[in-house]
Amino acid sequence: MLKDETLVRQTEAAITDVRQTLADVARFVDGLERTAQEVQALVQAARTGEANVPALLKRVDGILANLQGVTRDIARATPRAPQIAQNVERATANLPALLTQAQQTALELEALLTQLRGHWLLGGTQQAPPPRRLSPAEVPP
């Protein structure tokens, strides 16, 4: 039973790590999308001549600062990726056995509940076993 609890804890930790990494990746993708939109708007402004050079340089500086933040997020997330992958692999390796044990336990519990529901002491439909009376020949002297 201890091994199963340890496996469950390892699986939960691996799932938490995966969720954190996915959140980091989502922030990274959001940052990239914002940067791409800003670059597209900048290019459009440069084509139409709506912005002057100092304004364009200021926007480029903002875009580069945003891109640096995104790359910092990537740098923080990528070193943990191999460890997370190993944790997930290690934790999920025993999942089929754990699921089989859980299914077997559930079946046994269901059978026990069925027996308990039918037991006469618990208000079930089974009759109480008739008391066994000894015949006079069976009574020891």
- Its pTM stands at 0.40
Domains and CATH numbers, the chain: 2-92 (1.20.58)
- List pLDDT tens digits, range 22-50: 787 778 778 778 877 887 777 777 777 66
pLDDT at 126: 65
SS3 category, 115: helix
Residue in the block written with tokens 């009574």: 139
